[in-house]
């Protein structure tokens, strides 16, 4: 599905990401841990093709195709969708109109909006005056309409109340696993995801297959998501990285 090879990225004349190697296989959900300032959000933005993130070395391979230098819209067309920490307000564009433009066939917009408690926001300008939880749910509504095969989610549980995190967590689980009833086996219904989390709270709602720890702009180690989260909580990132073998 997604393979990142020896990726180095420059932002504002400074190397921010260095020699990153990472894989997200088809039907797998991977977690990305790391302290503030480690470069996690920059990494997801680079994967999506945001401007200002200059790839100086390496490749991004998606479904066997080199997409390293493709534009955002071309990556979206190929099946990559992103939820950022704080998307911009879009004055003059109604949420309903935006979702209709990006929705694929057979997507029931009203049903999804109702499940996310977003029907009352459909005639409002996108994100204008929305709370943190409302913005997250708006983003998920847009992702559901896009129906990508790979989800890039940047701290989906941050800045939301307990009620919103439950809705968001369950919706993310439904979007990733779709109609799959395969009891743990991989199948064509399952989507792939790379999710940034600080708290690990999203793991209360989804099953993740692998986790990476990104520090100082590079991937330091990988392993079982819950085991890594436990070590991070117990020892902090510095000690966790020292004691864990580098399994990439």
pTM of the entire predicted model: 0.89
Q: What are phi and psi of 96, to 5 degrees?
A: -60, -45
- The answer to whether 32 and 54 are in contact (CB under 8 A) is no
β-bridge mates for residue 210, sequence order:
30
For 132-173, the pLDDT digits (tens) are 888 999 999 999 999 999 999 999 988 777 777 888 889 999
Please, what are the domains in the chain? Answer: 2-243 (3.40.50.300)
For 66-104, the pLDDT digits (tens) are 999 999 999 999 999 999 988 889 999 999 999 998 887
Distance (Å, whole) CA 91 – CA 81: 22
Nearest by Cα to 12 from 72, 74, 56, 58: 56
């Amino acid at each position: 599905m997604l393979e990142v090879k020896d990726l180095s990225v420059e932002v504002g004349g400074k190397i921010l990401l260095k020699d990153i190697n990472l894989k997200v296989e088809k039907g797998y959900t991977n977690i990305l841990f790391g302290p503030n300032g480690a470069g996690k959000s920059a990494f997801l933005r680079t994967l999506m093709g945001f401007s200002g993130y200059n790839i100086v070395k390496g490749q991004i391979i998606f479904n066997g195709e080199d997409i390293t230098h493709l534009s955002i819209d071309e990556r979206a067309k190929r099946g990559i969708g992103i939820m950022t920490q704080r998307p911009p307000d879009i004055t003059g564009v109604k949420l309903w109109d935006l979702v209709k433009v990006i929705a694929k066939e057979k997507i029931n917009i009203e049903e999804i909006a109702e499940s996310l408690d977003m029907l009352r926001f459909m005639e409002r300008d996108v994100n204008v005056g929305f709370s943190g939880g409302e913005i997250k749910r708006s983003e998920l509504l847009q992702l559901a309409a896009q129906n990508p095969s790979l989800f890039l989610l940047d701290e989906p549980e941050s800045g939301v109340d307990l009620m919103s995190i439950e809705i968001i967590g369950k919706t993310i689980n439904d979007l990733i696993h779709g109609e799959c009833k395969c009891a743990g086996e991989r199948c064509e219904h399952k989507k792939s995801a790379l999710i940034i989390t600080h708290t690990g709270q999203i793991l209360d709602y989804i099953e993740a297959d692998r986790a990476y720890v990104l520090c100082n702009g590079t991937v330091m180690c990988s392993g079982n998501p819950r085991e890594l989260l436990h070590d991070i909580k117990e020892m902090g990132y510095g000690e966790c990285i020292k004691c864990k073998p580098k399994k990439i």
